[in-house]
A and B are shown apart, each in its own frame.
Chain A
Amino acid sequence: MTAVKTDPSWLTEFRARYAEWWPHACPMIERHDYAAAFKTYPWPTFATTPWTPLVKPLAESRIGVVTTGGLYRAGVDDAFDGHAPAGDWSFRAIPAEVPIQKLAIAHEHFAHEVAETDMNTIFPLDRLRELQAAGTVKGLADVHYSIMGYCPRAADLAESTAPAIAAGLLDAGADVALVIPV
């Protein structure tokens, strides 16, 4: 597992509070009463904020995009488990050259119609290419990332998924990352 670089001090307390929350929340989640379940969710809080200054002008920067829309390549990637009560904290790597309108969505917690009409509303690679043509940005990173945004298991996301995405974006040549939740 790739090492976490953010301050991990919140993880132990979060895991303990999550373990107390889950037995009460799970039945509510299973009957789709998310509002009630999440009223007592142990939201993590952070004492510090990581910071990397912007050192390159945008016009020299390649942009990496991370979506929480549960996007994946049908026929290539496994779908996210959009129905799991505890969510799915895995990720998918999406090469920049994939036609975004062909991506599939596996996420049960948002209305898909807008994205299915125009995927740029949640994963704007075409628009970023237009910004590249206009000279606003240098271009796109080689690979972009998707997670499925219904992910109550924040510690697993933080320990397993986030470092892997960060490492992947570095390898893919991203100078800036744009995180777009759904």
Chain B
Amino acid sequence: MQREIEAWGIPTISLSNNPTATRRLSPPRWAHVRFPRGSMLGEPGNRDKQRRVLTDALQAMVAMTEPGGFVELPYRWEADPVMWRGKPLRESSYS
């Protein structure tokens, strides 16, 4: 989907917590976030961190001059683990 939007003339960037899955799809630009599924911007209510994730990802686009660029964002999950099916979610777990 990101690829199609880019092909229509809108520069795109995606957030990803799963580099293996993301690289397989060859997106134009992406940012690696170290957060669990369902919370790519960080902890609920943490407005400052959410803004920093957005700002960093968007500003990273400026420096990416070729397709496939990515940026590693330094932020980490700082709340209790998100539970999914009785287990704590790790960064890149899919199910």
> Between A and B, how many residue pairs show CB distances below 8 Å?
180
Overall SS of chain A's interface: mixed
Contact indicator A163/B4 (Cβ below 8 Å): yes
A97 → chain B, closest Cβ, in Å? 19
Is A179 touching B4 in the complex (CB atoms < 8 A)?
no
What's the interface size class on A, roughly? Answer: 35 or more
Contact B38 A111 (CB under 8 A): yes
Note all chain B residues with C-beta closer than 8 A to A130.
47, 51
Report the count of interface residues on B (CB-CB < 8 A): 49
Q: What's the nearest-Cβ distance from chain B to residue A32, in Å?
A: 9
Judged by a CB distance under 8 angstroms, whether A137 is at the interface is yes
Identify B58's interface contact among A118, A137, A179, CB under 8 A: A137
Would you call A179 and B12 a contact (CB within 8 A)? yes
A167 pairs with B8, CB closer than 8 A: yes
Contacts of A9 in B (CB 8 A): none
Query: Chain B contacts of A110 at CB under 8 A?
Result: 37-38, 84
> 6 extra interchain contacts, Cβ-Cβ under 8 A, other than A66-B2, A114-B39?
A4-B4, A111-B89, A114-B38, A166-B8, A178-B54, A181-B16
Could you show 9 A-B contacts with beta carbons less than 8 Å apart? A49-B67, A50-B3, A52-B28, A58-B62, A127-B50, A157-B1, A163-B4, A170-B10, A179-B13
Chain B interface residues (CB < 8 Å from chain A): 1-16, 24-28, 37-45, 47, 50-51, 54-55, 57-59, 61-62, 65-68, 82-84, 89, 95
